[in-house]
Amino acid sequence: MKKHVVIGVTGGVACYKALDLIRGLRRIGLSTEVVLTKEAEEFIRPILFQSVSGNKVVRGDLFEIPEEWDVAHVSLADRAGLVLIMPATANIIGKIASGICDDMLTCAVCATSAPVLFVPAMNSGMYNNKIVQGNIAKLKKAGYYFTGPVKGRLACGSTGMGHIQDLEVIIKEARRLIK
C-alpha cells in the first residue's frame, strides 16, 4: 500500500486550508506532496506548503526544467496512493471532466491509477450550475470520489452550499481511500 498523498491545490480562496489538511494527514502517518496550480500561487506561496509537507512543491508548469530527469507528471502519478484535490474549483473539475491536461495537476490525475478525491469549494451559484453539476456527475460515474461541499459561510459573505468540507471528514475519507 502506498501511503503517499499527492495534494493538488488550486486557485480558490479555501486553498489555505490545505495547510491544515497536510498537517492532519502527516499526523496519521501519511506522506504528502503538493502540486500547486499557477492560480493557487496567486493566493499562497509554495514555501508554506514545502515547510508543512516536508517535500519540494511541484509547481503547475509542465515546461519547467526539472532538477532530475523524470517525466514529472508520470512519476507523481506513480508515487500516489491517493490524489486529493483541495479546493476543487469549478475550473479544475471542468478541466478534468473534459480530459484537459494542460498543467502538472491535470496530467498527474490523468496518468494515475490511484483513487482521486475532490474536495469542492466555491460560490453556491457556481456549485449549483448545471454544467458544474454535470461535470461532477461525469467524474463520479468514471470512478472519482467527492466529499463536500457543505452549507456554510462563503468567501462572498453569503451562506450557501459550496463551503469546504470539515477537515476531519476529509482526513477520514482520505484514510479510507488510501487503503
CA separation, residue 36 to residues 11, 15, 16, 26, 83 (Å): 9, 10, 12, 18, 13
* 110 classed as catalytic: no
**Helical spans, DSSP H, in 35-150:** 46-53, 72-79, 90-97, 104-111, 124-127, 130-141
Given the residues 15, 101, 107, 156, the one annotated as active site: 156
Q: Which three cell numbers stand for residue 19?
A: 495547510
Nearest to 32 by CA among 46, 21, 22, 17: 22
- Residue 15, class by beta-carbon neighbours within 10 Å (0-12 exposed, 13-18 middle, 19+ buried)? buried
Q: Rounded to the nearest 5°, which phi and psi values hold at 71?
A: -80, 100
171: part of which helix (H) or strand (E)? helix 167-178
Catalytic residues: 156
